[in-house]
Amino acid sequence: MKFECSTQDLFYGLQNATRALSSRPAMQILEGVLLSCDEDGVLLQCSDGSLSIKTQVSATVAEPGQVILPGRLLTEIVRKLPEGTVTFTMNEKMAVTIRCGQSRSTITGVATDEFPQMKDLSGTFALHFPQGKLKDMISKVTFAIAVQESRQALTGCLMEVTEDSVTMVAVDSFRLARRTWHTENAANHTLKFVVPAAGLKEIERILEDSDEPVTFTLGDKHILFSIGDALLVSRVLEGEFIDWRRVVPTNCGTVLTANVAELTSSIERVSLIISEKVKSPVRCVFGDNMADFRTANTIGSAHDTCSIAGNGGELEIGFNSRYLLDALRVIPSEEVTLELQN
């Protein structure tokens, strides 16, 4: 095997591919990155067993071949290389020499026979929409995904695709986040599937804030995302997701509006004396054009107010301040509507 390519392009490809590496791999081979080169360039692939990422890098290939190299070590070596062209050469003992400028490193590789193959989902139904839109939707809901839950489906995010919309829903035992994108011709039939949180977070990191398309293809047990030169395959979670439409309250008796920045600042100030060791709820009283927040614990007490539009009728509710702040921090508009039910 022998090829040369840009150090910047190779580092970018390794950054994306190695996102699939597990901190505690089930097999030693899953600590590595599979390098495969032919006339089309270099393919980089990593997997943790349930999530696989493959990226393509433009390269001039003199001798095709493939090998598995330590993923994180290779990424650090390439990170430190000067800008320019890097050359990879492998001998018959699978020792790979990396040359760039005055730098030279040699890593011993292993055979690729036992490396898990990426699922082939070609020929199944594919959907397309802008990268920036998917990135925004993921960022607005993942905070509500359950971390530990007896129902495995709740450790992922539900995606519902209809003819004219794409909806993402995340829920744990205390809160629910939903984001919907209305579009034309999203799909010719309804799709519902649950993507694990780990896969979604890596997808979000690879996506760009652009109108360039991302394509996802759904198989029986896996989903493939195609993002530029990167392919990501994740298993989908089995089991029933919560019927979120029955959980969301309707016909709330109290509807208020508030400035997002002012409301966030008030709750943040009151929350300063709350910690993981000393927890206490924030008591919220919604009055006439004013919201009153206070909390007290063994450390001390705090009180703050915020202007609102509307009359809450002195309705008092206790909230976990972190849950409130998590939601407020992903609201893109200047104002938020609060619908309250006693």
One pLDDT digit (tens) per residue for the chain, 342 residues: 999 999 999 999 999 999 999 888 878 899 999 999 999 999 999 999 889 999 999 999 999 999 999 999 999 999 999 999 999 999 999 999 999 999 999 999 999 998 988 887 866 678 888 999 999 999 999 999 988 767 888 999 999 988 888 999 999 888 999 999 988 766 677 889 999 999 999 999 999 999 999 998 888 889 999 999 999 999 999 888 989 998 888 888 899 999 999 999 999 999 999 887 777 889 999 999 999 999 998 889 999 999 999 999 999 999 999 999 999 999 999 999 999 987
**pLDDT on residue 186:** 66
User: Are the beta carbons of 142 and 178 closer than 8 angstroms?
Assistant: no
User: Are the beta carbons of 285 and 315 closer than 8 angstroms?
Assistant: yes
Beta carbons within 8 Å of 46's beta carbon, 6+ residues apart: 17, 18, 19, 20, 21, 30, 32, 33, 34, 52, 53, 71
Helix (H, G, I), strand (E, B) or coil at 167: strand
Beta carbons within 8 Å of 83's beta carbon, 6+ residues apart: 7, 8
Distance (Å, rounded) from C-alpha 131 to C-alpha 43? 22
Distance (Å, rounded) from C-alpha 166 to C-alpha 183? 8
**pLDDT on residue 149:** 67
Give the dihedral of Cα atoms 215, 218, 219, 225; nearest 10 deg: 40
- Of 159, 156, 226, 237, which Cα lies nearest the Cα of 16? 226
Q: Give all strands (DSSP E) within 150-250, no chain letters.
A: 156-161, 165-171, 176-182, 191-196, 213-218, 222-227, 230-235
Distance (Å, rounded) from C-alpha 272 to C-alpha 309? 26
Distance (Å, rounded) from C-alpha 326 to C-alpha 144? 8
237-252 pLDDT tens trace: 988 898 999 888 888 8
Distance (Å, rounded) from C-alpha 71 to C-alpha 54? 13
Q: Copy the structure tokens of residue 159.
A: 């995606």
Q: Which residues pair with 177 in a beta bridge?
A: 170
- Of 322, 313, 337, which Cα lies nearest the Cα of 267? 322
User: Are the beta carbons of 322 and 294 closer than 8 angstroms?
Assistant: no
Distance (Å, rounded) from C-alpha 204 to C-alpha 139? 7
Distance (Å, rounded) from C-alpha 251 to C-alpha 230? 45
**pLDDT on residue 123:** 62
